[in-house]
């Protein structure tokens, strides 16, 4: 074998080594990857540069010099490539305030709507299909909308300071969404077909089905010839849509100052062993129509107010209303 023959392949391998090492250092984006490349190419024991140096000993004296010169060039290029890679990943790390931005990211935990929000949205959907639009009203109310216009006179026990959250002489946190019936009728002539929902506040003692803050959905339909049969049909259809075809509801005679006649609506609780009150309802009292400037001889109407928490609890088999307010993700994750 002549000296030129053995030199050419050896030089070619040196060129390849340089190209591969450059590629490895350039594509390393983390400190760990740079270290892996360093060990492979510049490692003192088994690095590929070391192996190329060992090869020098096996070459004939005539070609040693040429090989040695090329080897020195490759060695220098590899050291420069390594230094560049190392300072590049270090810069990235410190630029991000000590955080290694080259590490895979932490995927954000995706949340979802609270079960009460889901319930509210579904109620809007169902009543929307029955032709009910959505109305809104303020949580801080005046006593006219919470009581007077609803035919609840100043001496009525429902106005007792111990049963309400008064903010001042004439204002309070609304105790029912029936306030919005008044606001809607004040702002438009009949016919009316709306639902309204939101938070209401009462200093009730907290237990499994009572809270001092809860949500109600109010319904109001006013037109010529609206009857109690319409009320019962709408509530039955609603209960079946939201709670399932097999749900049982019952109507009990009751009293509200703003409806006449009035009923209480109960649903058979999950487990089927007891009835739980879902809401109150009735035919709008003529005095309410008078208070908002409607003509009681011309129109009739029905109204209802249902507890959203209890509907949500019945639907999902939740036993305690307090679970809905604790924001424990182990609970909320289930819906």
Spell out where 32-149 has E strands: 133-135, 140-142
Asked if 151 interacts with ligand FA5 (CB under 6 A), we say: no
Among 216, 217, 288, 318, binds ligand FA5 (CB under 6 A): 216
**Whole-number minimum distance, CB 103 to ligand FA5, in Å?**
48
Binding annotation = 260
Distance between CA atoms of residues 112 and 98, nearest Å:
33
Alpha carbon separation from 55 to 4, 65, 78, 230 (Å, rounded)? 16, 13, 18, 99
Asked if 75 interacts with ligand FA5 (CB under 6 A), we say: no
Binding annotation for Mg(2+) = 260
Asked if 137 interacts with ligand FA5 (CB under 6 A), we say: no
Among 146, 151, 259, 300, binds ligand FA5 (CB under 6 A): 259
- Give which of 218, 229, 204 is closest to 258, Cα–Cα: 218
**Whole-number minimum distance, CB 253 to ligand FA5, in Å?**
13
Task: Calculate the CA dihedral of residues 55, 35, 15, 70 and round it to 10 degrees.
Answer: -60
Structure tokens at 39: 């060990």
Among 18, 176, 197, 221, binds ligand FA5 (CB under 6 A): 176
Asked if 210 interacts with ligand FA5 (CB under 6 A), we say: yes
Q: Which of residues 265-324 bind ligand FA5 (CB under 6 A)?
A: 277-282, 303-305, 307, 309-310
Specify whether the CB–CB gap between 75 and 293 falls below 8 A: no
Residue 152: CB atoms within 10 Å: 19
Question: Which CB, 151 or 262, lies closer to ligand FA5?
Answer: 262
Distance between CA atoms of residues 16 and 68, nearest Å:
16
**Whole-number minimum distance, CB 213 to ligand FA5, in Å?**
8
**Interface with ligand FA5 (CB under 6 A):** 176, 178, 202, 204, 210-211, 214, 216, 256, 259, 262, 277-282, 303-305, 307, 309-310
């Amino acid at each position: 074998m002549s000296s030129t023959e053995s030199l050419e392949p050896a030089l070619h391998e040196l060129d390849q080594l340089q190209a591969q090492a450059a590629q490895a250092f350039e594509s390393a984006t983390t400190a760990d990857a740079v270290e892996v490349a360093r060990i492979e190419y510049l490692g003192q024991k088994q690095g590929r540069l070391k192996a190329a140096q060992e090869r020098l000993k096996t070459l004939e004296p005539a070609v040693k010099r040429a090989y040695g010169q090329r080897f020195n060039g490759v060695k220098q290029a590899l050291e420069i490539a390594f230094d560049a890679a190392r300072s590049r990943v270090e810069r990235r790390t410190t630029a991000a305030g000590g955080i290694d931005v080259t590490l895979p990211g932490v995927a954000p935990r995706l949340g979802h709507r609270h079960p009460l929000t889901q319930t509210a949205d579904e109620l809007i959907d169902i009543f929307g299909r029955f032709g009910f639009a959505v109305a809104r009203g303020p949580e801080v109310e005046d006593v006219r909308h919470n009581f007077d216009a609803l035919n609840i006179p100043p001496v009525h026990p429902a106005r007792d300071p111990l049963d309400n959250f008064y903010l001042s002489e004439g204002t309070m946190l609304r105790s029912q969404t029936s306030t919005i019936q008044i606001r809607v009728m004040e702002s438009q002539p009949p016919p009316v077909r709306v639902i309204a929902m939101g938070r209401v506040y009462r200093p009730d003692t907290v237990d499994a089905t009572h809270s001092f803050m809860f949500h109600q959905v109010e319904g109001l339909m006013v037109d010529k010839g609206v009857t109690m049969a319409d009320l019962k049909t709408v509530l039955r259809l609603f209960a079946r849509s939201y709670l399932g075809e097999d749900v049982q509801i019952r109507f009990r005679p009751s009293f509200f100052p703003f409806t006449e006649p009035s009923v209480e609506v109960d649903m058979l609780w999950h487990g089927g062993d007891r009835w739980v009150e879902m809401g109150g309802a009735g035919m709008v009292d003529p005095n309410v129509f008078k208070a908002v400037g409607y003509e009681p001889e011309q129109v009739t109407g029905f109204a209802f107010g249902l507890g959203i928490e209890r509907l949500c609890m019945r639907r999902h088999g939740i036993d305690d209303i307090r679970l809905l307010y604790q924001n424990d993700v182990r609970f909320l994750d289930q819906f």
